[in-house]
Chains A and B, each alone.
Chain A
Amino acid sequence: MGRRLPVWPVLRQLRGNDRLGLGEAARSARSDTLAPRTAEADRVVRSICPFCAVGCGQQVFVKDERVIQIEGDPDSPISRGRLCPKGSASKQLVTSPGRLTTVRYRRPYGTAWEDLPLEQAMDMIADRVLATRAATWQEHDAEGRRVNRTLGMASLGGATLDNEENYLIKKLFTALGAIQIENQARI
């Protein structure tokens, strides 16, 4: 108790103007020093909401290399600082304990996830791509037309990604000869 209340409020109450003890006299030490945590941010990073396509501006407050708050960017002429419930939940989205942090691997016919180092996963995926591509490569179709492609693999996704990321996907897959690339635009 003493730790919580360096000056007993009743004493402050009797000494000060706040005879009812409902205002100044009742302030705790924490209340005295209270400040919004955003004031203590090391930096404020400009961002854009990751949910829908309105494109609301966000300010990301960072302290000790962790996101401590995300709120609307008042400068945005699109959103004027406002966010919907999803946008308002952005900090929970990016700091959620439910997020994956390590690669999960399920072997064929396996019944449980296994660990797999990222580098090894990348190498295995590269091997799978090359093997499937080699096995399913078509130089010409049944009518003899040149197609130089594979129909052995596909990709689905992109609408939640950045333009730069979609660009690399399309560029790489096209060079691989993989044409079955799709995203949420049709779904």
Chain B
Amino acid sequence: MAECHPVGFQWVVEAKARGAKVIHVDPRFTRTSALADLHVPIRAGSDIAFLGGIVNHILANGREFREYVVSYTNAPVIVDEAFQDTEDLDGLFSGFDPETGSYDPRSWQYDGMGMASNAGSRQRRIAGGEAHGSGGAKLSHGSPPRTDPTLEHPRCVFQLLKRHFARYTPELVEQVCGVPREQFLEVAEALCQNSGRERTSAFAYAVGWTHHANGVQFIRTAAIVQLLLGNMGRPGGGIMALRGHASIQGSTDIPTLYNLLPGYLPMPIAGTHGSLQEYLDDVRLPAGFWGRSDSYMVSLLKAWFGDRATAGNDFCFDHLPKLTGDHSIFPTVMAMLDGTCKGFFVPGENPAVGSPNAGLHRKAMAKLDWLVVRELVETETASFWYNAPEIETGELRTEDIGTEVFLLPAAAHTEKDGTFTNTQRLLQWHHKAVEPVGDQRSELWFYYHLGRRIREKLATSAEARDRPLLDLAWDYPTEGPHAEPSAAAVLREIGGVGPDGRALPGYLELKADGSTACGCWIYSGVYADEVNQADRRKPGSEQSWVAPEWGWAWPYNRRILYNRASADPEGRPWSERKRYVWWDQEQGRWTGHDNPDFGAATAPGYDPPDDAEAERALDGTSPFVMQADGKGWLFVPNGLDDGPLPTHYEPPESPVANPLYGRQTNPLMETYDRPGNRMNPALSPVYPFVFTTYRLTEHHTAGGMSRTLGYLSELQPEMFCEVSPELARLRGLVNGGWATIVTSRAAIEARVLVTGRLRPLRVGGQVVHQVGLPYHWGRNGLATGDGANDLLPIVGDPNVHIMESKANTCDVLPGRRPRGPALVELVEGHRARALAEQEREGSR
């Protein structure tokens, strides 16, 4: 956190000064470790074993926050008797179909409740959990599930959890993670002691935690810990994702993502969502705020298609294109290589450096018909056709690359109005300070005018496929010398307007009858009272510690989600120290420091009538208002592709055998086994070391905004690798010298930092060496170097299609890498040896 979010870290430093204990679990000793009370070096990719160990420690010692767990989680719910655990099936849950390589989750359901017909395995490969929106999966909820509040029933979630993690003992943690059991116990105890009524503990992770083939389940394990300890929905608790780009949260909320529509509504799926009704029947949940999906979706269609969207034409639902599978960037890159995807826009991203197996991305771009790059500077993505590393090796030749490249200068944040959504869901408006220079333009300008031109070119078209474009509401007011569209007008459309044309106060006002329009339901209210709420700047020093009048947080300016959980089932604060929102009996409403999660007048004792819908169908003790049962899910009956409980599998490439199960890796791991993207064989002596990639304080992601600046480049001027003194001795590496790192995809060179901050770990009977690789560098800019992400395979998490980039294997050689074709020979030579080795092993 100190490394990549230094200014956010001020609050950790302040908390520490007030007595908080700071624990840092990371393969490397970083600038965060330097200020932590305890640094725990861990083997990259073994996180579920570590966190599962904490779950086991809590459950085996009765350390859970019992009242919270019983009331606010699904711990008491009894699960279908057909359910079988990985402990029973050697690493598989019940429902696995070896032929399709996927799960049928019917046996994971709550006892006697069945499952909605549309969810489940059919949608696998399409969108996984994300297709269901942030609320996770569908749960048919005609009546409350069978529960056992004593948590004793052998099939209740609590007991299943206990059994599932029983083998995750301190000894196992030591064996899998390389963390001494005493140190592990210190962490587990610290968390337990600092949780409960009076105290809360928080997890913060940078998104490296998601960069794993089991990433979703890593974070799920942390969620289980936090639910068991009662740390969700309470001040000082929670799990904070520290994200890396100014508006990466915003670009998920208002998604430039294939499987989502704004506000986590799923994109329609071919065959399944033939009509608006079919879509809504699938998406709308019987209880919780997804119960209002119809109003969100119809209002979105009204924002997009305006007057053309009517009840008579399904509000133009049929204009939306349909998904048939995984259309994320990885299969798209494969489609470029295969020649089916021919055109590519890249606004403000640098895949030629930042993407996993970046070399494959570069080769893919060389197959395109056309490429449009919009950037502040000429990035490696724009220049691949003349200076990609593959030009040097002879794998690509400039004269043979048919890609037409448009490189358009972009406006910077100081040259345009707009909002960023920060990592806490906070929308903050930035004002234009100066006009951009020359051809520099905002993306708002580019996409608005591109759309305008396209619509003009098609104005007389009678083609059916052009109807959505011609029906599009695409008439934003423009201003200034370049006819810049008004960002405020766009934000207002996002926030929504009512039948009277006035900006809406929030999504509870949205209607499914076409009388309201709203571009993103969770952002509804951002323009309430015709005020740009994201531009509120009341000084922090002049308001409460929650600072509700700075910017605007979705939804409803709520600063802590699920804050109903900050009070006990009767609505009283768990403790005076941790009071946040509470039920005011006299007033008959919720009050406190924040906007309460559900109806302010929903009493703690509220028992919904049978015909209640949406949030009114949740009882008064259900804080998790996006879930159909209102509870925090320790066990996930539906919505995850790779199982209802987190389970330790080894990373796709690992030097270690899985000590828990015969199954080495996640059975649902997404692989793309093809030339240019081969995996290192597991346990291969040719690739004996683990490498992990990361960012440095002094640079920004793929470098386009930092390697080009002198003041940042001089602080970290060259690509380097970090190795322990032991590994340096083993491989003859010298501090300040050079090393070559080799995988099945690529070989790169880096200067060497020999440091005790990396330390070999004893894992089971063997020693695991880990290599640290910052990934910022490329060929352009002031500070140049080889790109670490060239080394990575494209292999991913089945739920969200995120790659494994934090725990892969490699070889390390002293000295610089070969130049020209010899580089390819080095990579291929290593691979041939590894395959031969594997064959020998296999024949033994």
Q: Which residues of A contact B (CB under 8 A)?
A: 43, 45-58, 60, 62, 65-67, 70, 73-80, 82-90, 92-94, 96, 98-109, 111, 113, 116, 118, 121-130, 132-133, 135-137, 139, 141, 143, 145-172, 174-187
| Residues in B whose Cβ lies below 8 Å from that of A57 | 428, 537
Which 5 pairs show the lowest CB-CB distances between chains A and B? A77-B540, A55-B422, A162-B418, A158-B256, A149-B321
Chain B, residue nearest A137 (CB): B465
Question: Is B320 interfacial (CB-CB < 8 Å)?
Answer: yes
Given contacts A105-B405, A156-B349, contact A162 B419 (CB under 8 A): yes
Given contacts A82-B10, A180-B332, contact A132 B342 (CB under 8 A): yes
Q: List 15 A-B contacts (CB under 8 A).
A: A52-B423, A73-B537, A79-B7, A85-B698, A85-B715, A100-B378, A104-B405, A104-B406, A106-B403, A146-B274, A159-B246, A159-B247, A163-B427, A181-B255, A183-B248
| Residues in A whose Cβ lies below 8 Å from that of B247 | 53, 158-163, 166
Do B414 and A67 touch (CB < 8 A)?
yes
Name, among A102, A176, A185, the residue most crowded by chain B CB atoms within 10 Å (CB to CB): A185
| Residues in A whose Cβ lies below 8 Å from that of B329 | 154, 156, 180, 182, 186-187
Chain B stretch 366-401: residues in CB contact (< 8 A) with chain A: 369-370, 372, 374-378, 382, 385-386, 398-401
Which one of A58, A89, A94 contacts B711 once the chains associate, using CB atoms below 8 Å?
A: A89
Which one of A92, A116, A147, A159 contacts B349 once the chains associate, using CB atoms below 8 Å?
A: A159
Which one of B346, B386, B427, B430 contacts A47 once the chains associate, using CB atoms below 8 Å?
A: B430
| Residues in B whose Cβ lies below 8 Å from that of A65 | 434-435
Tell me, in angstroms, the Cα distance from A94 to B78 when the chains sit together.
58
Tell me, in angstroms, the Cα distance from A133 to B258 when the chains sit together.
17
| Residues in A whose Cβ lies below 8 Å from that of B354 | 184, 187
Do B423 and A54 touch (CB < 8 A)?
yes
Do B262 and A50 touch (CB < 8 A)?
no
Question: Is B477 interfacial (CB-CB < 8 Å)?
Answer: no
Do A187 and B803 touch (CB < 8 A)?
yes
Tell me, in angstroms, the Cα distance from A47 to B535 when the chains sit together.
10
Question: Is B606 interfacial (CB-CB < 8 Å)?
Answer: no
Do B262 and A165 touch (CB < 8 A)?
no
Chain B stretch 515-565: residues in CB contact (< 8 A) with chain A: 519-520, 523, 535, 537-541, 543, 547, 550-551
Do B520 and A167 touch (CB < 8 A)?
yes
Tell me, in angstroms, the Cα distance from A35 to B375 when the chains sit together.
36
Tell me, in angstroms, the Cα distance from A175 to B455 when the chains sit together.
11
Chain A, residue nearest B800 (CB): A186
Tell me, in angstroms, the Cα distance from A147 to B354 when the chains sit together.
31
Chain B stretch 284-305: residues in CB contact (< 8 A) with chain A: 304
> 1/0 per position for B343-362, CB-CB distance to A under 8 A?
11111110100111000000
> 1/0 per position for B324-348, CB-CB distance to A under 8 A?
1001110010011000111111111
> 1/0 per position for B176-217, CB-CB distance to A under 8 A?
000000000000000000000000000000000000000000
| Residues in B whose Cβ lies below 8 Å from that of A165 | 347, 418, 442-444, 447
Given contacts A52-B243, A52-B245, contact A45 B257 (CB under 8 A): no
Do B432 and A164 touch (CB < 8 A)?
no
| Residues in B whose Cβ lies below 8 Å from that of A56 | 7
Do A45 and B490 touch (CB < 8 A)?
no
Question: Is B710 interfacial (CB-CB < 8 Å)?
Answer: yes
Chain B stretch 426-466: residues in CB contact (< 8 A) with chain A: 426-435, 437-444, 446-451, 453-454, 457-458, 464-465
Name, among B5, B254, B458, the residue most crowded by chain A CB atoms within 10 Å (CB to CB): B254
| Residues in B whose Cβ lies below 8 Å from that of A67 | 414, 433-434
Do A164 and B418 touch (CB < 8 A)?
yes
Name, among A47, A83, A167, the residue most crowded by chain B CB atoms within 10 Å (CB to CB): A167
Do B270 and A147 touch (CB < 8 A)?
yes
Which one of A53, A70, A83 contacts B423 once the chains associate, using CB atoms below 8 Å?
A: A53
Question: Is B242 interfacial (CB-CB < 8 Å)?
Answer: yes
Tell me, in angstroms, the Cα distance from A179 to B535 when the chains sit together.
32
Tell me, in angstroms, the Cα distance from A171 to B303 when the chains sit together.
10
Question: Is B673 interfacial (CB-CB < 8 Å)?
Answer: no
Which one of A46, A62, A146, A169 contacts B447 once the chains associate, using CB atoms below 8 Å?
A: A169
Chain B stretch 236-257: residues in CB contact (< 8 A) with chain A: 242-257
Chain B: minimal CB distance from A165 (Å):
4
Tell me, in angstroms, the Cα distance from A174 to B262 when the chains sit together.
12
Tell me, in angstroms, the Cα distance from A135 to B405 when the chains sit together.
20
Given contacts A84-B7, A145-B322, A151-B335, contact A129 B454 (CB under 8 A): yes
A-B contacts besides A93-B705, A102-B409, 12 pairs, CB < 8 Å: A53-B247, A84-B697, A92-B710, A92-B711, A101-B409, A109-B398, A128-B404, A129-B343, A160-B705, A162-B442, A175-B304, A187-B802
Do A106 and B405 touch (CB < 8 A)?
yes
Tell me, in angstroms, the Cα distance from A121 to B439 when the chains sit together.
11
Chain A, residue nearest B539 (CB): A75
Tell me, in angstroms, the Cα distance from A123 to B433 when the chains sit together.
29
| Residues in B whose Cβ lies below 8 Å from that of A179 | 258, 267, 321, 323, 327
Chain A: minimal CB distance from B689 (Å):
24
| Residues in B whose Cβ lies below 8 Å from that of A100 | 375-378, 407-410, 439-440
Tell me, in angstroms, the Cα distance from A157 to B420 when the chains sit together.
14
Chain A, residue nearest B707 (CB): A98
| Residues in A whose Cβ lies below 8 Å from that of B648 | none
Do A86 and B472 touch (CB < 8 A)?
no
Tell me, in angstroms, the Cα distance from A51 to B226 when the chains sit together.
30
Do B251 and A156 touch (CB < 8 A)?
no
Chain B: minimal CB distance from A114 (Å):
10
Tell me, in angstroms, the Cα distance from A176 to B319 when the chains sit together.
9
Given contacts A146-B274, A147-B322, A163-B494, contact A182 B447 (CB under 8 A): no
Tell me, in angstroms, the Cα distance from A182 to B361 when the chains sit together.
14
Chain A, residue nearest B439 (CB): A118
Question: Is B415 interfacial (CB-CB < 8 Å)?
Answer: yes
Do B402 and A109 touch (CB < 8 A)?
yes
Chain B, residue nearest A124 (CB): B406
Question: Is B412 interfacial (CB-CB < 8 Å)?
Answer: yes
Do B346 and A52 touch (CB < 8 A)?
no
Chain A: minimal CB distance from B840 (Å):
37
Chain A, residue nearest B451 (CB): A172
> 1/0 per position for B615-626, CB-CB distance to A under 8 A?
000000000000
Chain A: minimal CB distance from B412 (Å):
4
Tell me, in angstroms, the Cα distance from A156 to B379 when the chains sit together.
14
Given contacts A46-B430, A53-B245, A103-B409, contact A155 B7 (CB under 8 A): no
Do A94 and B412 touch (CB < 8 A)?
yes
Given contacts A53-B422, A107-B404, A162-B444, contact A47 B433 (CB under 8 A): yes
| Residues in A whose Cβ lies below 8 Å from that of B405 | 104-106
Do A101 and B440 touch (CB < 8 A)?
yes
Question: Is B4 interfacial (CB-CB < 8 Å)?
Answer: yes
Given contacts A171-B304, A182-B329, A186-B802, contact A54 B420 (CB under 8 A): no
Question: Is B647 interfacial (CB-CB < 8 Å)?
Answer: no
Given contacts A141-B270, A162-B416, contact A62 B433 (CB under 8 A): yes
Do A126 and B453 touch (CB < 8 A)?
yes
Do A177 and B465 touch (CB < 8 A)?
yes
Tell me, in angstroms, the Cα distance from A25 to B842 when the chains sit together.
87
Given contacts A105-B405, A184-B349, contact A54 B8 (CB under 8 A): yes
| Residues in A whose Cβ lies below 8 Å from that of B401 | 108-109
Question: Is B706 interfacial (CB-CB < 8 Å)?
Answer: yes
| Residues in B whose Cβ lies below 8 Å from that of A53 | 5, 242-249, 420, 422-423
Do A48 and B428 touch (CB < 8 A)?
yes
Given contacts A156-B349, A157-B346, contact A48 B430 (CB under 8 A): yes
Which one of A102, A139, A159, A163 contacts B245 once the chains associate, using CB atoms below 8 Å?
A: A159
Tell me, in angstroms, the Cα distance from A95 to B551 when the chains sit together.
27
Which one of A58, A168, A186 contacts B490 once the chains associate, using CB atoms below 8 Å?
A: A168
Do B443 and A102 touch (CB < 8 A)?
no
Given contacts A153-B342, A179-B323, contact A96 B709 (CB under 8 A): yes
| Residues in A whose Cβ lies below 8 Å from that of B262 | 167, 170
| Residues in B whose Cβ lies below 8 Å from that of A118 | 408, 439, 441
Given contacts A166-B247, A180-B258, contact A122 B709 (CB under 8 A): no
